[in-house]
Amino acid sequence: MPIQSIEPRRLYRQIADQLRALIRSGEFPVGSRLPPERELATQFGVSRPSVREALIALEVEGLVEVRVGSGIHVLESDSEPSPRLDNAFGPFEIIRARQVVECQMAAIAASSMNRAQLDGLRESLALMDAAIGRGEMPLRADRLFHVRIAEAADNGPLLRIVSELFDERNNPLFQQLGQHFENEPSWRTALAEHQAVVDAIAAHDPAGASAAMHAHLQNSHDRFAAAWPTAPECEPLAR
């Protein structure tokens, strides 16, 4: 059963469907390893992040398992495509959408944020730092940081967009991807990136704030697109 080229529409679902069919047909039997992401991306004619989203979808279904230092292994499973994924956006397209919106939000905040709002923004960093120190995923504080930046625009529709895009982190694809790539070192790095955004906002530097937010979200994208973790220190924080 040859691999077919992919149409540029809902890529990760199309890739997952083809890989599932290949597994069901015996091209990749139970216990075997799938080809590396780079090879699959070349064969499908798509980006590696799109392949990663497809593999994560299959992992959510229980059809494959990512084994640290060993690759993607095919599991014995009779599961069908998960209905939980029917309307789930891919993590990478969510991050790209956030870049479009939140860079402008940071620029607006640098122009309009008052002292009380800036104190609230700094409070979100302190809450994030405290959660990381307790070994917890600092998602509430992370959300608070991004929402408080959006609040400075005093625009309800934009605040809703920022909030809803952030809350897509709760979809099963994003949660599964986070289990592989989010850990104390990655969150400490994200916290430092947040601080750079706050510094630019405090300096009333719209261009700097936008650039710092763009860098933060691009780095988030790149962290999720990095090679699969291979060392014990990459274990996720407690949930």
Q: Where are the domains of the chain?
A: 11-75, 91-228
DSSP 168: G
pLDDT band at 200 (very low <50, low <70, confident <90, very high): very high
The CA distances from residue 186 to 4, 63, 191, 216, in Å, are 36, 28, 9, 12
pTM of the model: 0.88
150 vs 70 pLDDT, higher one:
150
Query: Which residues does residue 41 pair with via DSSP β-bridges, in sequence order?
Result: none
In this structure, whether the domain defined by 11-75 belongs to CATH 3.60.110.10 is answered with no
Q: Taking residues 18-44, what's their average pLDDT? A: 93
Percentage of the chain modeled with pLDDT above 90: 80
- Residues paired with residue 66 on neighbouring β-strands, in sequence order: 72
Which of 6-15, 31-40, 44-53 has the least mean pLDDT? 6-15
Superfamily of domain 91-228 in the CATH hierarchy? GntR ligand-binding domain-like (1.20.120.530)
- Helices and strands per DSSP (H, E), number in the chain: 10, 2
Residue 38 C-beta-side C-alpha neighbours within 13 Å: 3
| Residue 58, burial from CB neighbour count under 10 angstroms (0-12, 13-18, 19+) | buried
Find out whether 121 and 151 touch, Cβ atoms under 8 Å: no
